Structure 1
Amino acid sequence: MDEKDIRILSAIARDGTASPEKIEDATGIPKSTVHYRLNQLRESGVITNDLYDLDLEKVGISITLISEIWAEFEEGYHETVGEKLASVEGVNQVYFTMGDTDFIVIAHVTSREMVESLVEDYEAISEIERTSSKFAIKTVKDEQNPLNDFDVETLIEELAD
């Protein structure tokens, strides 16, 4: 990736669009170049899909559940337990972590009943020793695209060839 690619990716993250015209307006990079670069970024796997962000609260999925999971240690457990956690209905993100907690699991659900069902599903996994779940009372920041958390110049400095 070079500076143009990073500017294009930052515009996509910031504006939520992959429209070459809108990216040209945001970056000053000619539309034909944007179109070519978008195709290259797709072919290389950097861009994997078209994103449509949703307001989960308006959809009715207003509870964010953050769960810490402790599991039995054995060789490869991070993969097998991680895959089992990821397959639980309602689970959006699974992270294998270092430290006291083995996994952090994020789920967005509609009700307390769904929370209870999710925790039961976690605890039904034989390798799970213990869980601790928390409700998010208020979302302070929920940036869907980490590129938006950096200044474009920082990204260019850190990522450009």
Structure 2
Amino acid sequence: MDERDIRLLKAIAELGTGSPDKLHEETGIPVSTIHYRLNNLREDGIVENDLYDLDLDAFGLSVTVIVEVLADYSGTHSDVADGIREIEGVTQLFSTMGETDFIAIARVGDADMVGDLMRSFEEVPEIERTNSTYVIDTLWDDARGLESYSMETLLSEFTDD
């Protein structure tokens, strides 16, 4: 990646759009160059979609539950992960080191769905124990990851100079 790629990705994160016209207005990079670079970034797997991100709160999935999972590995690590990924409402899953084996983030609509979620964790045979934390309020969630970085840091750390 070079400086133009970084500037495009930062603008996408800040504007919430991949519109070449809006990216041109923000960065001054010609629209034809933006098309070319976005295609390359897609081919490289850096840009994954066309940014049709959902506001899960507005959709009705306004309750976030963080579930720490301690598992028994009578099967394989991936078997346990697959079992957790199949649970309705789990939107993120992390394999961890330390007290727990996995951390799952789930988004559900209400207290009834929280109960259903926790019963689903109990149905995965390899799960020995869970510790759940109900999120009271999401203070900040950077869905695209680059907004929290300054342009200077991005350029110094991620360009191929």
**Bin of the TM-score, shorter chain as denominator length:** over 0.9
Question: What is the CA deviation profile of residues 30-65 of structure 1, one whole-angstrom value per residue up to 9, with x for unaligned ones?
Answer: 111111101111122211111123332222211011
CA distance in 1, matches of 2:29, 2:4: 8
Residue pairs, 1:90-101, within 5 angstroms: 90-101=89-100
Alignment of 1:55 onto 2:55:
yes
Identity of aligned residues (%): 49
CA distance in 1, matches of 2:157, 2:75: 35
Aligned match of 1:108: 107
8 Å contact from structure 1 (residues 13, 147) kept in 2: yes
**3-state DSSP of counterpart to 1:107:** strand
Question: TM-score, normalized by length of structure 1?
Answer: 0.93
Residue pairs, 1:51-130, within 5 angstroms: 51-73=51-73, 76-77=76-77, 79-130=78-129
How many pairs does the alignment contain? 160
What is the root-mean-square deviation in Å for CA atoms of aligned residues?
Answer: 1.4
> Which letter does structure 2 place at the counterpart of 1:84?
G
The structural deviation recorded for 1:89 is 1.1
Bigger shift: 47-56 or 13-22?
A: 47-56
> Which letter does structure 2 place at the counterpart of 1:138?
D
Runs of at least 5 residues in structure 2 that lack an aligned partner in the other structure: none
Question: TM-score, normalized by length of structure 2?
Answer: 0.93
Runs of at least 5 residues in structure 1 that lack an aligned partner in the other structure: none
The structural deviation recorded for 1:157 is 0.9
CA distance in 2, matches of 1:40, 1:114: 41
